[in-house]
Amino acid sequence: MPSRRFADGEVVMGRWPGSVLYYEVQVTSYDDVSHLYTVKYKDGTELALKESDIRSQSSFKQRKSQSSSSSPSRRSSSRSRSRSPGRPAKGRRRSSSQSREHKDDKKKTIQETNLEKLSENNTRRYNGEPDSTERNDTSCISLEQKLKPDLEIERVLEQYSLRPRKEEKKKEEIYSEKKIIETVKKIEKASSKTKELEFGGRIGAFTLIFLLPAAVFYLLLMVKQDDPSLMNFPPPLPKLESLWEARVFGVFLLWFFLQALFYLLPVGKVVEGLPLSNGRKLQYRINGFYAFILTAAAIGILLYFQFELHYLYDHFMQFAVSAAAFSMVLSIYLYFRSLKVPEEELAPGGNSGYFVYDFFTGHELNPRIGSFDLKYFCELRPGLIGWVVINLAMLLAEMKIHNQNMPSLSMILVNSFQLLYVVDALWNEEAILTTMDITHDGFGFMLAFGDLVWVPFVYSLQAFYLVGHPTAISWPAAAAITILNCIGYYIFRSANSQKNNFRRNPADPKLAYLKFIPTATGKGLLVTGWWGFVRHPNYLGDIIMALAWSLPCGFSHILPYFYVIYFICLLVHREARDEHHCKQKYGLAWERYCQRVPYRIFPYIY
């Protein structure tokens, strides 16, 4: 294996990615695995360069003085010195032919440099990897924003010293380069397209649109069976007309719009989300916990007036069908409205140009009606709070059906554990603004169905199961399961808080004990604490909790364990998606992080 040619701290000439321009840079580190040097430009930009893109200063100067002709390489070299970031050009006397040549040359350079900055804005780093589709990078500035107003062009050109000061007089000439702008716009449009399709691409997305509702349908039918063992699959199908009741759909709509009303209440603080690709930050009202309190009060009033909450249990399948129909209509609406929004408002992960794929993953990133954010609202309100209400209905149904004065210990455990989880999510609502769902995924069928159907109707499977399949557990078993849930919760909460606090304020003295790897984006990657234990400690805690939710259902059937099995699959897949995005965002620094923290979710296993 060849050894490295340049030492850390050495000042060398680094080629600007995709161009023939060389700037003075300082080597900050070298990665033995990828053979890439991390170099720092004078304006602070950090890039990962191959050895072939770096030259020693001496060889560079030598070449320059040796060359007497106006060879392209010489032109590039002199240009590179005068146009290095943060370094204005020095004027030079030239003959008329040279000056003509220089003029042409200048146009070319500006074109090149604009295109280079575009690619930098998309990826922030050059490390030989494909362009990132990540559009929520804090430092991302939309190119259109840069090019449209003349003042903006001026600012950008000055910021990067793309032209010598002497030539400022000729800026009108530069601005008239409409073709450049058009070319750049075309490239920007092309680069914002989703190139790498997830979920098995178009075929996978198409299959999931049918598979997900079918899975919910079969799970609910299975749980209703006296013997829900796998041997009894498929369960007998109900009559089609029994699946739909207008009144149930009305109750569902009432629920949805009641939650929407709570969301609109002017209580709770308003915070800003992460910067979008155009630099704008959306505002979000944090009042999910208040919505939960108001819902609890409303349910309390209903119970006080003898409302039979087990109506939910009796019409469970009809509620699921109503929610599924609603989520499908919502997804269709979301897709059609997304066709009218500007390119920059589309989701980085759902802009493939293929109808089925974009419909499934979500085409528009943050669909809003006025200030009402549809995705943010659906993520934590109707489905998540609905899950707790369904669990409570199951608890009451169990008491009624089995003539119990008290719910069973198993039912109490399942209800309490899941209540804790939901309350925690609502209490820490602000943390959702940095999740993949909000920053990367669009709002389409996947999230609409997931939030409104999958979460409330599948996550409540254990409570639903316990109504029809009473399971007695001993106090020591209950204590052991509770301890397991507490351990899972502790890992989940402390890992999430550690990262969220670090992201919010990396200089927080309370986090001074944590070590991190700096990255070119300015964000650090924690390598000690929970995030130094495994790469997704929060997923580990979540999975431990999922197991604790299933254990109270005993070991007679695998059905109540569906959640934990599905959840492991979901988080393993999610981890792979996140890993891919982080690799694009952080390049070499992410690879270093993976070397330092080799296990993804389960220490010494995976």
Which residues of the shown chain bind ligand NDP in the complex (CB under 6 A)?
434-436, 492, 496, 499, 502-503, 523, 525-526, 531, 536, 538-539, 542, 574, 578, 581-582, 593
Q: How far is the CB of 123 from ligand NDP (least distance, A)?
A: 14
Cβ-contact 342, 436 below 8 angstroms: no
Cβ-contact 43, 86 below 8 angstroms: yes
Residue 206 tokens read as 């198409």
Closer CB to ligand NDP, residue 56 or residue 528? 528
Q: How far is the CB of 372 from ligand NDP (least distance, A)?
A: 23
Closer CB to ligand NDP, residue 42 or residue 503? 503
With b for 16 or more beta-carbon neighbours within 10 A and e for fewer, the 199-233 pattern comes to beebebbbebbeebbeebbebbbbbbbeebeeeee
CA distances from 374 to 205, 209, 302, 326, 368 (A): 22, 20, 28, 14, 6
Closer CB to ligand NDP, residue 105 or residue 134? 134
Q: How far is the CB of 222 from ligand NDP (least distance, A)?
A: 21
Closer CB to ligand NDP, residue 228 or residue 529? 529
* Cα 160 to Cα 63: distance, rounded to the nearest angstrom: 26
CA distances from 56 to 8, 20, 257, 514 (A): 13, 15, 66, 37
Q: How far is the CB of 576 from ligand NDP (least distance, A)?
A: 11
Q: How far is the CB of 285 from ligand NDP (least distance, A)?
A: 20
Name the nearest CA neighbour of 165 among 99, 88, 93, 84. Answer: 88
Q: How far is the CB of 491 from ligand NDP (least distance, A)?
A: 10
Name the nearest CA neighbour of 333 among 372, 297, 364. Answer: 364
Closer CB to ligand NDP, residue 75 or residue 536? 536
CA distances from 364 to 214, 333, 340, 341, 439 (A): 26, 11, 10, 8, 11
Closer CB to ligand NDP, residue 546 or residue 551? 546
Question: 589: alpha, beta or left, given left = phi > 0 and alpha = psi -120 to 50?
Answer: alpha
Q: How far is the CB of 443 from ligand NDP (least distance, A)?
A: 15
Q: How far is the CB of 525 from ligand NDP (least distance, A)?
A: 4
Closer CB to ligand NDP, residue 243 or residue 517? 517
Closer CB to ligand NDP, residue 160 or residue 443? 443
Q: CB neighbours of 273 closer than 8 A, spacing ≥ 6?
A: 281, 282, 283, 284, 433, 438, 439
